Amino acid sequence: ESEEALLSLIIPRLEKLPFSLEVSQSAGESNYSCEEPWRLFKDKCYFLSEDKMNWNRSRDNCTSMHSHLVVIDSQEEQNFTSGVLPPNDRAWIGLTDQEEKGRWRWVNNKALQENQKYWQPNQPDNFKGKDSLEAEHCVVMYKGTNLQNWNDAYCSANRTRLCERPAVDLNA
């Protein structure tokens, strides 16, 4: 039998199923797409590296992939990106006070908002070891069940990185 003949038998039955409307609605919500291995969340794509670099090189590497180190704009985004990390790992995010100590800024030059801070308890502490040449001016996110999982760390440390970029809008 032809494909058309089969479909003419199947479609009227599918239309009677109670869940068909729900299926088409939820399919309609997913209008964005990411290239592998980037992961989609809402209208953004996220990339977790396997290799490790210091913060400045991580920032530049994200830029070279038409993205930026992740900027946390909402609690939902904080929750999603925290879940992307492998257990017991941490990753650079796009937050630093390298320009002016204590003035935390995102890589998109936005200031850190009071209601979007997810520091671990007693952080940021700008720690400087006795023999250390630097204090802590770059922010890592730790994998964990707690949303409060940021720590300021040495920018020279080699860590995995989380990059973010707009997803492809399939309706555009």
* Paired tokens of 49: 């590296």
Query: C-beta of 71: minimal distance to Ca ion in Å?
Result: 4
Among 99, 100, 102, 98, which residue's Cα sits nearest to residue 119? 102
Query: C-beta of 42: minimal distance to Ca ion in Å?
Result: 9
Assess contact for 69 and 94: CB atoms under 8 A: yes
Query: C-beta of 125: minimal distance to Ca ion in Å?
Result: 4
Residue type, 67: S
125 binds Ca ion per the rule CB under 5 A:
yes
61 or 123: whose CB is closer to Ca ion? 123
Query: C-beta of 138: minimal distance to Ca ion in Å?
Result: 10
151 binds Ca ion per the rule CB under 5 A:
yes
Which range in 2-10, 108-116, 119-127, 137-145 contacts Ca ion by CB under 5 A?
A: 119-127
6 or 139: whose CB is closer to Ca ion? 139
Hey, which residues between 38 and 97 contact Ca ion (CB under 5 A)? Answer: 71, 73
152 binds Ca ion per the rule CB under 5 A:
yes
> Which residues, other chains included, contact 35 with Cβ-Cβ below 8 Å and sequence gap of 6+?
45, 168
Give CA–CA dist 96/161, Å, rounded.
Answer: 14
Radius of gyration of the chain (CA): 22
